[in-house]
Structure 1
Amino acid sequence: MTTPEPTSASNITEQNKALFNRWFGRVWNSGEYAIAHEVISPRMRVHGAGGQPVEQGPDGLVGLISTWRDAFPDGRMDSTLLIAEGDLVAALLTWRGTHQAEFYGAPASGQSVVCTSIGIDRIENGIIVDGWGELDMVGMMQQMGVMPKVGPGASAHEQSAEWGSPTEVRPGEGRGDEKAVAQAFVEAFNAGNLTPVLAEDYREFNPALGARDADEANEIVAELRAAMPDLQYRHDPGLLIAEGDLVAVHGVLIGTYNGAGLWGSKPNGQYVAWTQSEILRIRDGKVAERWSCPDVLSLYQGAGVLPTAGGTS
C-alpha cells in the first residue's frame, strides 16, 4: 500500500482558488444556492459587506445573494484578480446589472449599475469559514439615484465606476519584500505622505474615493487627515496575503472628526471608523499600483457627509 504524498502549499492555494471561483460563479451568477451548503461553514461570519445585514452560515449568504439577484435579475459578478496564500484568498470583483426590483427599500430605477468590491475568504479543509467584503455601495446607490452625489467618488462625478484598465490582472514575479512594502505603505499613510513609498508611474484604481494617481491619492489622505488629525490606518497582519508581486491588505481607519470640514460636512467631534481592503502591486520596493475599496458608507455617515439610516447627519 502506497502512502499518499502530502499536499503542497501551491496545491492548496490552487484548490482554494478553484473553490472560490466555483462559489462565485455558480452561486452568485447561476443561483445554485445548494452549493452554499456544501462550501460554507455553519459558523461562517461575514465582516463588512457595505453595511448589509448578513446572518451567520450558508443561509445568511443565500439571503444576501438572493437580495442582489432578485433586484438585478441580469446581474453578474466578475473577478478581475484572484490571489491566495495559505488558507486565504483575495479577489478584485465587479458586479454589473440592471436595477429592476426593490433593493434595500430602493424601488426599481431601471438604471444599469457597476459596483466594485474586494473579497477575502478564509478556507479550511475545503470549507469557507470567514469572509471579509468591502464594496462601493455608495457609488452604486448614487448610480441608482437614491443617494445624493456627494464626496470625491467616481459615481458622484459621473465618471466610470469600473476598476479600470487592465480588465484582467495577474500576479507577476515577486522578490519577497511585498508584505514589508505593504506595511511601509500603511506607515506612510499614517505619516500623511504616500510619496516615499510610491513608484514614479504609480496608478490607483479607487472608484469609491476617485483617486487615480499619486497626486490624487495624497490629496485624499490630506483631506482625511485635515478632518481627523488623529486618523490612523490599522491593518490586520493576519490578513496580509501575498502572491508574486501582489499583496492584499485589510484594516480599519479610525479618527475623531474635529478638524476641517470634509466634503460638504461640518466637524461633529464624533469618532469615525471604517474598514478598507486593498491590493497593492509592488515593484522594486515601491507600490506601483493600488486597487482600493474603503467602506465609504460608514465614513460618510460617521462624518455627516450622508445621513445615517435614521435620517440624521
Structure 2
Amino acid sequence: MASASTPTRTPGAAELVARRYPEEIATEGKLDLIDEICTEDVLDHSPLGEIKGHEEQKAQIRMLRDAFGDFSATVEDVVTEGDMVAMRVTLRGMHKGEFMGAEPTGNTFEVSNMVFTRVEDGMIAERWVIPDMMGMLTQLGIVELPSM
C-alpha cells in the first residue's frame, strides 16, 4: 500500500511574525523583540485584562516569567486567513513566584491556549489570548473544583 505524501506548507509572513511572540518573546524572554515586531499601540485582550503598547506588553511577559521561571509557549497548530493568524499553543511552567496574588505552590501546569493575532503591515497589531485559566489554576492548586 502506497503512503500519501504530505504536501510541504510554506508559512506566510503573517504566520512567521505571529509565531515569534510565543516562541521568542514568551518562551525565550526576548522582550526587546516586542519593539521590533509589534505596532506601537499593539493591543492584547486576555483574561488578565487588556494591555496596550510595548511597555505594558513587556510588563506582562516579565510578570509571567517571574511567576513561572521555566515558562514556555509551544505552537502546536497554525491557521492563517489573510491578516489573521490562529494558533493553538501549549503553555507550561512551574509556579515559582507570585501569580494573581497567589504565593508560589511549586506545582506545574500544562494547558491549551488559543491565540488569534491580527497582523498589520507585517507587524502584530492585536492579539486575542484565550488560555485555559481554570485548568491552569486547578493544576497549580490555587483553585479547587467543586465535587460533582
Give the TM-score normalised by the residue count of structure 2.
0.87
Q: Structure 1 54/65 Cα, relative in aligned 2: closer, same or farther at 3 Å?
A: farther
Shift of 1:32: 0.8
Superposed displacement of residue 74, structure 1: 1.0
| TM-score of the superposed pair, with normalisation by structure 1 | 0.42
Cα separation, 1, equivalents of 2:31 and 2:50: 16
* Alpha-carbon distance in structure 2 between the residues aligned to 1:66 and 1:146: 21
**Separation in 1 of the partners of 2:135 and 2:146?**
10
Match of 1:133 among 129, 133, 136: 129
Identity %: 26
Match of 1:69 in 2: 65
Per the TM alignment, residue 53 of structure 1 is displaced from its structure 2 partner at its CA by 2.7
Are the aligned partners of 2:90 and 2:110 in contact in 1 as well (CA < 8 Å)?
Answer: yes
Query: How many residues were matched structurally?
Result: 140
Q: Is the 8 A contact 1:106 1:146 kept in 2?
A: yes
Q: Tell me how far apart the structure 1 counterparts of residues 75 and 104 of structure 2 sit (CA, whole Å).
A: 26
The superposition leaves residues 24-58 of structure 1 with CA deviations (integer Å, 9 ceiling, x where unpaired) of 211111111110011111222222x12x0342112
The alignment partner of 1:55 has SS state of: strand
Q: Max radius of gyration: which structure? A: 1
Q: 1:30 aligns with which of 28, 31, 35?
A: 28
Segments of 5+ residues of structure 1 without an aligned counterpart are 1-9, 152-262, 264-313
Shift of 1:136: 0.9
Return the structure number with greater strand share.
2
Identify unmatched segments of 5+ residues in structure 2: 1-8
Q: Distance in 2 between matches of 1:140 and 1:86?
A: 32
Aligned with residue 16 of structure 1, among 1, 14, 27: 14
Tell whether the 8 Å contact from 2:23 to 2:75 is kept in structure 1 after alignment. Answer: no
Q: 2:49 — aligned with what?
A: 53
- Identify the structure with bigger relative contact order (alpha carbons < 8 Å, sequence gap 6+): 2
User: Which one-letter code corresponds to 2:146 in the other structure?
Assistant: V
Is 1:102 the equivalent of 2:98? yes
- Post-superposition Cα deviations, 1:134-169, rounded to whole Å, max 9, x if no partner, equal 111111111111112138xxxxxxxxxxxxxxxxxx
RMSD value, Cα:
1.9
